[in-house]
Structure 1
Amino acid sequence: VSAQAGVPPRRLQPAGRTRLQRTDTPRASDALIARAARGRRTRCARRGVDRRGAGVLGNAGAWEPAQAAPERAAMADGGDVARRTSSKRPPDTDFYQQRLKAWQPILTPGYVTVTFCVIGAAFCFIGWGLWSASSGVVEASVQYDGEGTSSDYAGCMITSQNAAKNCTIRITPEADMEPPVFVYYQLDNFYQNHRRYVKSRSDDQLRGEVLTNPDLLSDCLPLVNDPVTGKILAPCGLIAYSFFNDIISPPTNLIDHWSEKDISWTSDRETKFLNPEGYPANVDEETFTYLYQRYPNIISKEEGVTNEHFIVWMRTAALPNFRKLYARITTKLSAGVTYQFPVENNFQVNSFKGKKYLVVSTTSWLGGKNNFLGVAYVVVGALCLVLGILFYVRYKTSGRELGDPKYLNWRR
């Protein structure tokens, strides 16, 4: 068929495979056209544009004039901004993207040698300072009970609690002791750090609350009631019940310079250990067993739980061998002079194979006498110096150029 003027020729279809024509199957052709129109409208609706003219289709498919398009576009831009704002992608900054500048030294033999020598010198200097401070502490101690006690103090030893055996401890300083001089008692092999022992106390009761309900006193288990009278212990618990009750008295020539005040922590005295309201006028001895009843020679009825020796004992030690402050001497103790301390021995240590000492000591800015810390610093510092010197000798005798490719092995 020849093409008409101005109309492109149509490609001929083979016989038997002709396309649907309007004249042949009008109903099928109309269905295809309608389906194509619906597809175009659906795509236009998704794009928000209608081909019928200038305008947009709303969310419900309603026609909107062209002047409404900028408002719709602004709303779309707002949604995009919100989506960008809620993104979890970190900002493109040096900090978030880990592009900050950093200095990464190359550990050359020279740097390593210098570093070891500097660290070693610093540790030796610090260790020397610590050792000097500890060496300046003057200390004297005497064991007066337990295994290994000298025969001079065999008469002080006891085998039962509250034996009230009196003896005299003689201490002779090897050097002058400048004030303040501190008096300690030392216990060995007494595990105040045992978990059950540490937990056996009622802080509410120690702060002055009167407790009679067994549920409120459960923290004191396994010792809530007095084993002898059956009354409630005030205060209760293993720590309070095992109070160190030896009585250490000052030498006759130091009575005016002897102080047992301010030996406990200020926070403990002011907030953690308080007597009940109205104490001691309203004590209930029919229900409770008080400290002044168990330790009448150490704790007075007026003091109660505010007694400083009791407060010091209640602050448990971290190690099985420990010292606790008993008194303070405010005058000088001369070297070579023997000072006699009267002691009433009540706290027995045989049941746990312990030992008891009376210790008189001065202090430094570092605390008491402790040579271990200074020696440890000196040893570590000396080791670093030796390693630094060895590295330097090794580098000078058989060193090699950094980055030398001849040491690379390409055949593996």
Structure 2
Amino acid sequence: MEVDAGTTSAVGTDNQPTPVLRGRSKAIHQFTQQTLPACKPVLTPAWVIGTFFLMGVLFIPVGLISLHASQSVNEIVDRYDVDCVPDTFKNNKMAYIKNASVSKSCHRYLKVHKHMKAPIYIYYQLDNFYQNHRRYVKSRSDEQLLKGLGYNKTSSCEPQAFENGLPIVPCGLVAWSLFNDTFSFSRGTKKLEIERKNIAWKSDREHKFGKNVYPFNFQNSSFIGGGKLDTTIPLSDQEDLIVWMRTAAFPSFRKLYGRIEEDLEEDDIIVVHLMNNYNTYSFGGTKMIVLSTSNWLGGKNSFLGVAYIFVGSSSILIAFIFLLLHVKNPRPYVCIFLKDEGQFSNGCS
């Protein structure tokens, strides 16, 4: 043994001194050399079967609660894109939607089957609309939405970057295709007020759309894609646009239009006054209006509850299969002890 500056060393097999480490240095050495003590759980049949069974016991009740919460959400869904086309244009819907002289006004009657507690959310639903198409998604400029005309690198917005030699704000196909059907509601002779504020994410309003950025040269070409924007209102306050610009991941999606802040009673008849402006006929899309309540789980969506029940049921089924196999062919529990450099290690199977 040699002592050097308070450190004890031992002679190794190659006649070179091997330092004996203590404290923090020893911990670092064990970490770098991967010699830290570790727990090695033994997956015995009892542990495996018990784990799967416990998963089933926990997951199935959670799934049932989630499914019940989803089913408790009241929804009224009404498709209007076909019925709102006049009889003379039933065979040529494209001529109807492109003819500006034909009235796009339409009335729909919705019956409330169960009491709906405020707030009641109003959505529009589009089907067969691929907002997730790569070229469509990329046709926008997030920097321009935040900085306005001060940002002129808008090549990603083609073919809606410039019109008549002037930049377009907001540019790109996403903004150009803005949904522009409008809705109003009444119950009997009383008009139902629609709250249109705070329908977009707060983070989008405050950090992605400029408070001093105003629409410029927007929808001024002969080829109109969708809704127009008020040039006197900054983009951060045009929440219809903000909601639309958050593109959907699937071809069938809903976007929030507003809220009704009063209860609807059972058997009420709600009259919907709408303007059928948006062209979904050119690509075979459909349009629906949705009135929905919400609860602690959100809107109506059975996927989460069904997924929990499926995983829980599968776990219990696997547990029973493993139990039967273990009873039929029991596996002996064997431990092997190995002696290595003065220490014992074990392995059990």
- TM-score, structure 2 length as denominator? 0.76
Runs of at least 4 residues off by over 4 Å: 161-164, 291-298
Aligned-pair distance for 1:322? 0.6
Pair 292,135 (structure 1): closer, same or farther in 2 beyond 3 Å:
farther
1:3-43 residue CA offsets vs partner (Å, 9 max, x unmatched)? xxxxxxxxxxxxxxxxxxxxxxxxxxxxxxxxxxxxxxxxx
Pair 257,177 (structure 1): closer, same or farther in 2 beyond 3 Å:
same
Determine the structure 2 residue equivalent to 1:361. Answer: 292
For the Cα contact (< 8 Å) 1:234–1:291, is it kept in 2?
no
Determine the structure 1 residue equivalent to 2:343. Answer: none
For the Cα contact (< 8 Å) 1:161–1:347, is it kept in 2?
no
SS in 2 for 1:381: helix
Determine the structure 1 residue equivalent to 2:133. Answer: 194
SS in 2 for 1:207: helix
**Structure index of larger Rg:** 1
- Answer yes or no: is 1:272 the counterpart of 2:208: yes
- In 1, the alpha carbon distance for the partners of 2:86 and 2:234 equals 32
Amino acid at match of 2:171: C
1:246-274 residue CA offsets vs partner (Å, 9 max, x unmatched)? 11112256645421111111122223223
State the Cα RMSD in Å. Answer: 3.2
- In 2, the alpha carbon distance for the partners of 1:249 and 1:298 equals 18
Out of 271, 293, 302, the position equivalent to 2:232 is 302
For the Cα contact (< 8 Å) 1:191–1:319, is it kept in 2?
yes
- TM-score, structure 1 length as denominator? 0.65
SS in 1 for 2:48: helix
Determine the structure 1 residue equivalent to 2:11. Answer: none
Larger helix fraction of residues: 1
For the Cα contact (< 8 Å) 2:178–2:227, is it kept in 1?
no
- Answer yes or no: is 1:137 the counterpart of 2:78: no
Determine the structure 2 residue equivalent to 1:225. Answer: 162
Pair 296,324 (structure 1): closer, same or farther in 2 beyond 3 Å:
closer
**Bigger mean CA deviation after superposition, 307-316 or 182-191:** 307-316
Pair 252,100 (structure 1): closer, same or farther in 2 beyond 3 Å:
same
Determine the structure 2 residue equivalent to 1:384. Answer: 315
- Answer yes or no: is 1:235 the counterpart of 2:165: no
SS in 1 for 2:86: helix
- In 2, the alpha carbon distance for the partners of 1:401 and 1:180 equals 62
- Answer yes or no: is 1:327 the counterpart of 2:258: yes
1:141-164 residue CA offsets vs partner (Å, 9 max, x unmatched)? 01111xxx4xx5453975234755
| Aligned length in residues | 301
Aligned-pair distance for 1:376? 1.6
- In 1, the alpha carbon distance for the partners of 2:154 and 2:324 equals 69
Determine the structure 2 residue equivalent to 1:184. Answer: 123
- In 2, the alpha carbon distance for the partners of 1:292 and 1:299 equals 11
For 1:8-157, list aligned pairs within 5 A.
92-93=26-27, 94-145=30-81, 149=82, 152-155=83-86
Identity in percent: 40
Aligned-pair distance for 1:104? 1.7
Aligned-pair distance for 1:365? 1.9
- Answer yes or no: is 1:170 the counterpart of 2:170: no
1:95-117 residue CA offsets vs partner (Å, 9 max, x unmatched)? 33333222222222211211110
Pair 208,373 (structure 1): closer, same or farther in 2 beyond 3 Å:
same
